[in-house]
Amino acid sequence: MYKFVSLRHVLLVSLAINVGLLWRFTNEGNGSDANVRRKTNVIRSSSFTTGLISVDEVQPQEFISLQVGDPTMYTRFWREMGNKTTVVLSGDQHLSYISNVKNLCWFLEPKLESAITRLHQLVGNAVVDDRHIVVGTGSSQLYHAALYALSSLDASEPMSVVAAAPYYSSYPSMTDLLKSGLHKWDGDAHKFNKTKPYIEVVTSPNNPDGFIRKPVVNHENGRVVHDLAYYWPQYTPISSPVDHELVMFTVSKATGHAGMRIGWALVKDEEVAKKMVKYIELNSIGVSKDSQLRATKILQAVIDSYDHTSIPEEGETLFEFGFNLMAERWKKLRTVVKQNPIFSLPNYSPGLCSFSGRTFEPQPAFAWLKCEGQIEDCESFLRSHKILTRGGEKFGVSTKHVRISMVDEDNTFDLFAERLSTIRQ
Ligand SMILES: Cc1ncc(COP(=O)(O)O)c(C=O)c1O
């Protein structure tokens, strides 16, 4: 029977598989940033051979996918740290659900709590005194927990949840995932003019455009959730420790360990913190202790690397490594964009970073690229050049913008910059 399978059949089958793969990658845009199902973001439209012919011969160019903020650029740093962050767990460890019965957040590992506190004290990006730390399975779980905790359980209608556009593309679908009676997505905070209670999500620096933000609605019956995933000194100058009602951080963007799924919230109000803990208790009966232990080791290594009086050498510490790599990439991207009138990037004002003592312009984890002139759909335009990005409409604004990850592997970023420089209208 195999004799009848011709070369043409094999080629057709392999092309069909590849079209399927491409469809999957190009349609991931509506999901969360963690919606990743590949090993590398340089997608060979045909990364396998049929045994008879390499399909690369049919479609030689590779797709570059920068749709997702997958922080793989940090791999090199952690690889160079070698065994300093290796964690070995034995079978008799972490059997219990409970970490500390005396803590309001009973599933928070005490060592992680102290590492988080020390990290914020070191960086100076958040007030930790008199705060309740709630650990979550990524800040994504904490987002759900925060909405649950801030919504009114006996309200006659769901509470409006808003964020100023352009907003993180996952907020609408996360908010409405369960079609909850507690809260519902109500769009752009700039357009919110109802007088009823609401929750505003403030992302600062903002995903997708990198600007520092403040609440825009400012009604007395509003509650604010601050998502500070990117308030770290490799991305933006640290101006002062934030002192808000409820702030969320994540290792995903701080150290690059998105796969560990650890985030934390610093919460002022005890009742709000208790409700968040209740949510996580009912949702997942706590947070993986294995991951918490590993996160502790990672955060400890970051803290220890600053634990000497001499000025750290370049590349020696996480934030130096991150800062230098982001600076290099932004310089390269700005040079390319400057030479190509089709595109433009936002301009940021420099600020003094209290952590590093440097004055620098923000160098966000995403580039918020605009297609100028006649190009109305920037995502499609770039896709036609085999660059996969996430279009502005998913962030509540026009299709003239796209969001591009700046935190991917070196070779993906380099290929992207090179290809962008060759694009002509
Ligand atoms: C603003 C913002 N918040 C939250 C998240 C999700 O973080 P985590 O991996 O901790 O769930 C992301 C991921 O890209 C993000 O950009």
Centre of ligand 1 to C-alpha 87, Å, is 25
Higher-pLDDT residue of 271, 49: 271
| Superfamily name with CATH number, domain 62-77+319-422 | Aspartate Aminotransferase, domain 1 (3.90.1150.10)
Q: Where in the chain is CATH 3.40.640.10?
A: 97-305
Residue 97 clears pLDDT 80, i.e. is over it: yes
Mutation to probe ligand 1, out of 170, 226, 262, 280 (largest number of atoms < 8 A from CB): 170
Numbered ranges of CATH 3.90.1150.10 in the chain? 62-77+319-422
For residue 28, pLDDT beyond 60: no
Question: pLDDT class for 32, splitting at 50, 70, 90?
Answer: low
Segment 314-343, tens digit of pLDDT: 458 999 999 999 999 999 999 999 999 999
Q: Using one digit for the tens of pLDDT, what is the confidence trace for 244-275?
A: 999 999 999 999 999 999 999 999 999 999 99
**106 touches 277 (CB < 8 A):** yes
- Residue 164 carries which DSSP code? P
CATH number belonging to domain 97-305: 3.40.640.10
Residue 47's pLDDT is 36
Give the start-end residues of each E strand in 91-219: 132-137, 159-163, 183-188, 198-203
- 255 CA from centroid of ligand 1 (Å): 13
**Is the pLDDT at 177 greater than 90, yes or no?**
yes
pLDDT recorded at residue 316: 81
Residue 360 clears pLDDT 90, i.e. is over it: yes
pLDDT in tens, 269-323: 999 999 999 999 999 999 999 999 999 999 999 999 988 645 555 458 999 999 9
Cα atoms in the Cβ-side hemisphere of radius 13 Å centred on 209: 20
Give the residue, out of 250, 262, 284, 395, with the most ligand 1 atoms within 8 A of its beta carbon, to mutate for a pocket test. 250
Which 8-state DSSP code applies to residue 178? Answer: T
Residue 140: its H or E element? helix 138-150
Residue 56, pLDDT above cutoff 60: no
Question: Is the pLDDT assigned to residue 37 strictly greater than 90?
Answer: no
d(CA 325, CA 160): 39
Residue nearest to atom 14 of ligand 1 (CA): 33
Q: 338 CA distance to ligand 1 centroid (A)?
A: 30
pLDDT band (50, 70, 90) for residue 425: confident
Evaluate whether 198 touches 172 at the Cβ level (below 8 Å).
no
pLDDT value at residue 373: 94
pLDDT given for residue 271 in this prediction: 98
**What is the per-residue pLDDT for 1?**
34
Report, as an integer, the average pLDDT of 97-124.
Answer: 98
Higher pLDDT, 45 or 154: 154
Q: Choose which residue among 72, 73, 140 to substitute to test ligand 1 binding: the one with the highest number of ligand atoms within 8 A of its C-beta.
A: 140
Q: How confident is the model at residue 131 (pLDDT cuts 50, 70, 90)?
A: very high
Q: For position 44, what pLDDT does the model report?
A: 52
The number of the ligand 1 atom at minimal distance from the alpha carbon of 250 is 10
Measure the CA–CA gap between 129 and 397, rounded to whole angstroms.
38
Query: Where is average pLDDT lowest: 217-226, 252-261, 303-312, 369-378?
Result: 303-312
Q: Give distance in angstroms: CA of 24 to centre of ligand 1.
A: 21
Q: How large is the average pLDDT for residues 364-391?
A: 97
Share above pLDDT 90 across residues of the chain, in percent, rounded to a whole number:
81
Tell me how far apart the alpha carbons of residues 400 and 393 are, in angstroms, rounded to a whole number.
9
Distance CA 277, CA 282 (A): 9
User: What's the pLDDT at 43?
Assistant: 64
How large is the C-alpha radius of gyration of the chain? 23
CA 322 / ligand 1 centre spacing (Å): 18
Residue 400, C-beta contacts closer than 8 angstroms, at least 6 positions apart: 370, 371, 375, 376, 377, 378, 392
- The whole-number pLDDT of residue 22 equals 40
Tell the burial category of 88 from Cβ atoms under 10 Å away from its Cβ (0-12, 13-18, 19+). Answer: exposed
Ligand 1: residues whose CB is within 6 Å? 33-34, 69, 138-140, 168, 203, 207, 227, 229, 250, 252, 258, 263
What confidence tens digit (pLDDT) does each residue in 402-421 have?
999 999 999 999 999 999 99
User: Does the pLDDT of residue 383 top 50, yes or no?
Assistant: yes
Give CA–CA dist 127/98, Å, rounded: 27
Which residue out of 36, 168, 255 has the highest number of ligand 1 atoms within 8 Å of its CB and is therefore the one to mutate?
168
The pLDDT of 57-61, averaged and rounded, is 47
Distance 33 CA to ligand 1 centre (A): 7
Q: Model pTM?
A: 0.88
Residue 125 has pLDDT above 70, yes or no: yes
